[in-house]
Structure 1
């Protein structure tokens, strides 16, 4: 049976009808939201943790090449292993440059559930 949790949904939003914060109640979705926070936060954005984040959004200014894809793979693995190592194990990150897009496929293992999961992200360059 799925464990119900109460966590603030990312990105932060308010339910105007109920007048309260949107919540995330599924643990798997909560883990995905935490991963997206790490991936889409630029280092330097958080005052108390200036080295937090991966900086995927900065990659939109890079040339779309195999070199960029390789750099992105290393950056994603290092960021997730540093900031999410208590929650997940990164099994593999597959990056592929195609046309004006950079595809990122993250294969990870949720430690608490002993489950293998996938996260696909597409960046337009």
Structure 2
């Protein structure tokens, strides 16, 4: 079994780099994709969803549909080898952004549900 570095990076109680299990690592990878803006990664300038740039954008059904399509396509591109997106909903209310995601872990075929949230003070 591979050891995965926990996200966000921190040290465990023994002063070593904290590690995490496979399921939590997949969730961490999803979170990194969702809240990374394109251009933030030096060697992967296309990585990221850019969702945080849209927190203050005006809400509309067209924007919500476009967001869901682009986020699902990005998850498929970057994490398609480890998960399959089953359902995705992006909700933006004032300065809060919430992503509800249902996905299947390809290795185990287990279905997981996760909510990711960010807000701007």
Task: Give the TM-score of the pair, scaled to structure 1.
Answer: 0.82
Equivalence for 1:11: 8
> Is there any run of 5+ residues in structure 2 with no aligned partner, and where?
none
Distance in 1, matches of 2:119 and 2:67, equals 14
Q: 1:123 to 1:19 in 2, by over 3 A?
A: closer
From the two aligned structures, give the one with the greater strand fraction: 1
Following TM superposition, by how much is the alpha carbon of 1:45 offset from its aligned partner in structure 2, in angstroms?
0.8
Aligned length: 120
> Is there any run of 5+ residues in structure 1 with no aligned partner, and where?
none
Could you tell me whether the CA contact under 8 Å between 1:95 and 1:103 is conserved in 2? Answer: yes
Runs (4+) of structure 1 exceeding 4 A deviation are 97-100
Matching residue within 37, 41, 49 for 1:42: 37
Measured against aligned partners, the alpha-carbon deviations of 1:46-99 in whole angstroms (never above 9, x if no partner) come to: 111111111222122322343332222112101100000100011121234446
42-51 or 114-123: bigger deviation: 114-123
Equivalence for 1:31: 26
RMSD across aligned C-alpha pairs, in angstroms? Answer: 2.1
Q: 1:36 to 1:97 in 2, by over 3 A?
A: closer
Distance in 2, matches of 1:43 and 1:99, equals 23
Task: Give the TM-score of the pair, scaled to structure 2.
Answer: 0.84
